[in-house]
Chains A and B, each alone.
Chain A
Amino acid sequence: MPTLLSKKYALIAIILVAILIPLLSTNEYYLHILTLSFIWIIAVYGLNLLAGFTGYLSLAHAGFFGIGAYALGLLTVKGGMSFWPAFFLAPVITTVIGFFIGLVALRTKEHFFAIYTLCVGYIIYLVIDKWEGLTGGVRGLIGIPGPTNIGPIELTSANARYYFVLTVLLLVVFLIYRIVNSLVGRSFIAIRNDEQLAQSIGISTLKNKLMSFVLSTFFAGLAGALYASFIRFIGPDISNINITFDLLIFMIVGGIGTLSGPVIGTLLIVVLSQQLQFLQDHRMLIFGPLLTSIIIFSPRGLAGMYLTWYYKRKAKKKAQIQTDNASIGGDS
């Protein structure tokens, strides 16, 4: 299985590079941006599980990201809880809220689902923005603690926090990989492929869709909690619709419904927008056409483009071997 092996090596190489970056570069700003990208990637993985693998495009994702962030912020700043319990509780709270919203939202389909969740996302934003007594409104929450030490491991330096987020990201990727390749994940794909057919052969679609929705909010909440502990200050803006659309662009450019898409798309767009800072809002002149052409020419993004090329090459090789065999058979 040479392809599987080379895939494994490629993966190890990428992880090694990620581990080595802080040791090779002393630019703290880039390290900060990279850590932040990893947090976005986790959120995009959540979105991708629901939109990419199950076929339900949720536009409330930033809302759940905000809930995760505010859960951590409020538990620590106002509740006086120490970091770790709050960090584990924040995604759980997001998941519970996600469960009840999913129960209602999943009664709709396709664009109605998108519109419904768009409204849900906006309502979450409004609640965070206007409920000053709880969330501090536009003033936001200040003084959120970062991760406290785990035994002898200190998590205060920029490098340490980079490694902390990287570890969580690797765990998330592993989890997503296991989910997608399990029977549950296959059922998600079956629902995306043809929901009525899935139902007619015995897959309980509501249960599976709800599971996908809840899992997706879990990853959004986790990313939100990481964000709050990393930036240490949060405002209502993090649950804004704009963030949902940022995540959506990361996912679509990278490759919707692929395992590597969220990493590729997020890193590419974040790096691009860093490099194009000098253009300010005119950057959209580049992102707009980029996004449009990807949707037209490669609906499954950059990762999908690679996969198409890879399978085409494999099919060609297979056909080549067959004709070779045929000609050998003819000679003898």
Chain B
Amino acid sequence: MLELKNVYVKYGQFTAIQNVNIQVDAGEIVVLLGANGAGKSTTFRAISGLSKPVSGEIQLEDQAIGGKSPDQIVKTGIVQCAEDRKLFTQMTVQENLMMGAYVHRKKKNEMKKRFQEVYDMFPILYEKRKDTAGSLSGGQQQMLAIGRALMSKPKIMLLDEPSIGLAPMIVEQMFETIKQINREGTTILLAEQNANAALSIASKGYVFENGKIVVEGTSEELFSNEEVRRAYIGA
């Protein structure tokens, strides 16, 4: 479904990722593991069009999306749920969701349906729909960020460290939610440092180090890989 072939991204002279090859099939959950600055977020930025790759190819359903602008890429069905729960903090919960459905702005019925689905999944967001996004708790903010991404009805969702800075109980809920979104038909590409939880829901994974993929394999393979266990699972 989504394929990256030999992708290189540079920030000025600095090569942020090199020779990245990733394959995500429809319906999968795929995880990118690695420490801070290993290249996970840059890979996401390249896919969502925020950073232009200097070389390599990015394809969605065999269509090249490499040169498109971020808003065009959202229209093709890829949406990114950015790190740090980035929200429009000055706007209400409802307005944030409305912005997420921007690509469907001309279809009133579709928009209504999206609102219904997101509120069904996150009842707390319905309760707080008139509060400003900045006033929500960390977990609620993450739900809103995911809900907003869902509003565009993506084929594939990029989730950048959804568990960062959340209480362990909330993290568990978060991974349940991700599984649920996946079951309902959205393919998921997940960047995580919490390797244990991420691998338990993913079908395969890629391990980043210094901008390169150093290990790849199915979740079972990565679980039993000595190096991965030592570096990311801590056992």
Q: Measuring CB to CB, which residues of chain A are less than 8 angstroms from any residue of chain B?
A: 183, 186-187, 189-190, 192-194, 196-205
A199 vs B75: C-alpha distance when bound (angstroms): 12
Interface stretch, picked from B56-64, B91-99, B214-222, is B91-99
Interface contacts beyond A202-B71, A203-B71: sample of 4 additional A-B pairs, CB < 8 Å, sorted by A: A187-B99, A190-B99, A199-B70, A202-B79
Contact residue among B86, B95, B152 (Cβ-Cβ distance under 8 Å from A197): B86
15 contacts between A and B (CB under 8 A): A187-B99, A189-B90, A190-B88, A193-B89, A197-B88, A200-B50, A200-B70, A200-B80, A201-B74, A201-B80, A201-B99, A201-B152, A202-B75, A203-B102, A205-B71
Contact residue among A189, A194, A201 (Cβ-Cβ distance under 8 Å from B102): A201
Is the beta-carbon distance between B99 and A204 smaller than 8 angstroms? Answer: no
- For B163, list chain A residues within 8 Å (CB): none
- For A186, list chain B residues within 8 Å (CB): 91, 95, 98-99
Q: Is the interface of A mostly helix, strand, loop or mixed?
A: helix
- For B89, list chain A residues within 8 Å (CB): 193
Q: What 3 A-B pairs come out closest when comparing CB atoms?
A: A202-B74, A204-B71, A202-B103
B41 CB–A CB distance under 8 Å: no
- For A205, list chain B residues within 8 Å (CB): 71
A200 vs B45: C-alpha distance when bound (angstroms): 9
- For A198, list chain B residues within 8 Å (CB): 88, 99
B149 CB–A CB distance under 8 Å: yes
Is the beta-carbon distance between B70 and A187 smaller than 8 angstroms? Answer: no
- For B98, list chain A residues within 8 Å (CB): 183, 186
Residue of A nearest to B95 (CB): A186
Residue of B nearest to A202 (CB): B74
Residue of A nearest to B48 (CB): A200
Is the beta-carbon distance between B100 and A201 smaller than 8 angstroms? Answer: yes
Closest chain-A Cβ to B125's Cβ sits at a distance in Å of 16
B105 CB–A CB distance under 8 Å: yes
A203 vs B99: C-alpha distance when bound (angstroms): 8
Closest chain-B Cβ to A259's Cβ sits at a distance in Å of 15
- How many interface residues does chain B have, given as a range? 20 to 34
- For A201, list chain B residues within 8 Å (CB): 74, 79-80, 99-100, 102, 148-149, 152
- For B88, list chain A residues within 8 Å (CB): 189-190, 193-194, 197-198
A190 vs B148: C-alpha distance when bound (angstroms): 13
Closest chain-B Cβ to A30's Cβ sits at a distance in Å of 38
A189 vs B71: C-alpha distance when bound (angstroms): 17
Is the beta-carbon distance between A183 and B105 smaller than 8 angstroms? Answer: yes
B82 CB–A CB distance under 8 Å: yes
- For B95, list chain A residues within 8 Å (CB): 186, 189
A187 vs B103: C-alpha distance when bound (angstroms): 12
Known contacts A183-B98, A196-B50, A201-B152; A189 and B91 CB within 8 A of each other: yes
Residue of A nearest to B100 (CB): A201
A189 vs B98: C-alpha distance when bound (angstroms): 12
A200 vs B70: C-alpha distance when bound (angstroms): 5
Residue of B nearest to A204 (CB): B71
A20 vs B195: C-alpha distance when bound (angstroms): 71
Residue of A nearest to B86 (CB): A197
Residue of A nearest to B80 (CB): A200
Closest chain-B Cβ to A102's Cβ sits at a distance in Å of 18
Known contacts A197-B82, A202-B71, A203-B71; A187 and B48 CB within 8 A of each other: no
Is the beta-carbon distance between A193 and B102 smaller than 8 angstroms? Answer: no
- For A199, list chain B residues within 8 Å (CB): 50, 69-71
- For A187, list chain B residues within 8 Å (CB): 99, 102
Contact residue among A193, A196, A204 (Cβ-Cβ distance under 8 Å from B91): A193
A190 vs B88: C-alpha distance when bound (angstroms): 6
A197 vs B102: C-alpha distance when bound (angstroms): 13
A34 vs B103: C-alpha distance when bound (angstroms): 44
Closest chain-B Cβ to A211's Cβ sits at a distance in Å of 14
- For A202, list chain B residues within 8 Å (CB): 70-71, 74-75, 79, 100, 102-103, 152
A183 vs B69: C-alpha distance when bound (angstroms): 21
Known contacts A200-B82, A201-B148; A190 and B71 CB within 8 A of each other: no
B74, B79, B88, B90: residue with the most chain A Cβ atoms closer than 10 Å: B88
- For A192, list chain B residues within 8 Å (CB): 90
A190 vs B98: C-alpha distance when bound (angstroms): 11
A135 vs B48: C-alpha distance when bound (angstroms): 50
A199 vs B89: C-alpha distance when bound (angstroms): 16
